[in-house]
Amino acid sequence: MNEHYLYLALDLASISLPLVFSFYKPAPFYKTWKHLFPAILITAALFIIWDEWFTRLGVWGFNPRYLSGLYIGSLPLEEMLFFVCIPYACVFTYFALTHLIKKDYLFPHQELISSVIIILMLLIGMYQIEKWYTGVTFIALGIFLAFQMLKIRPRYMGRFYLAYGVILIPFFVVNGILTGSFIEEEVVWYNNDENLGLRLGTIPVEDVFYGMLLILMNVVIYEWLKEKNPARK
């Protein structure tokens, strides 16, 4: 494979199996697309603005060696597809696990888990506010979690935390490659002056919580739309 298509190949590989299994008859994920795609597009718009801002600030950037060369603003096309392909695959995983595992094992603990994450995110984010990636990501996740916990009060957070735990497995593969694992250079580079400098392999620890915010926002909007406009049986 031409190395200029590596990032694009990762995007397509991430969505391929979830897309195929979306038509599995016992659990037809495609029937929820009318709720899913607005959630993806709304969230993607916010994250693309954030992404463009941080790219211009030099918080992170992209290695042209692994890109097709198509850009929109400062962002490569592959980066914009990331905000469609990865959320699709992750919300599909959340949906599939809901059908496969009937009992919500983490439901009794969901508020405790959320509270611990909120406190940690806000404390670390405010303490490291001068580091753009750490401060913005941690504070944004803490505020969003607090909002949904106090205002929306969803009953699905236990299922979300279980799904995100599973999602972290492919996350470490895909993000590992993007940050330089198994290849000669990084696809995405990070300015360590703007993060904690802590890496999980090659992955900045902030990516775990950036990913949590990205997927949680998709799930929250997806579930809200499902509740507001339930699918016909």
Question: Which residues share a beta bridge with 203?
Answer: 200
d(CA 13, CA 2): 15
Taking residue 172's Cβ as centre, other Cβ atoms within 10 Å add up to: 17
Instruction: Specify whether the CB–CB gap between 142 and 168 falls below 8 A.
Output: no
For residue 232, the model assigns a pLDDT of 55
Query: What residues have CB less than 8 Å from 165, skipping those under 6 apart?
Result: none
* pLDDT above 60: residue 18: yes
pLDDT for 121-142, tens place per residue? 999 999 999 999 999 999 999 9
When pLDDT is cut at 50, 70 and 90, the band that residue 216 belongs to is: very high
Question: Which residues share a beta bridge with 62?
Answer: 188
* pLDDT above 60: residue 233: no
Q: For all residues of the chain together, what is the average pLDDT?
A: 97
For residue 1, the model assigns a pLDDT of 79
pTM, full prediction: 0.96
* pLDDT above 70: residue 231: no
Q: What angle do CA 139, 147, 120 make, to 5 degrees?
A: 40
Provide mean pLDDT across the span 77-98.
Answer: 98
Collapsing DSSP to helix, strand or coil, 110 comes out as: helix
d(CA 91, CA 167): 10
* pLDDT above 80: residue 20: yes
Q: Which helix (H) or strand (E) holds 71?
A: strand 71-72
Question: Which residue type sits at 196?
Answer: L
d(CA 39, CA 42): 5
Helices (H), 109-156: 110-127, 132-147
Q: Are strands 75-76 and 71-72 parallel, antiparallel or unpaired?
A: antiparallel
Q: Is 224 left (phi over 0), alpha (psi -120 to 50) or beta?
A: alpha
Query: What residues have CB less than 8 Å from 170, skipping those under 6 apart?
Result: 14, 89
Provide mean pLDDT across the span 177-186.
Answer: 96
For residue 196, the model assigns a pLDDT of 98
Rg, Å, the chain Cα set: 18
Instruction: Specify whether the CB–CB gap between 206 and 121 falls below 8 A.
Output: no
- Report percent pLDDT > 70 for the chain: 99
What tokens does 121 get?
A: 């995110």
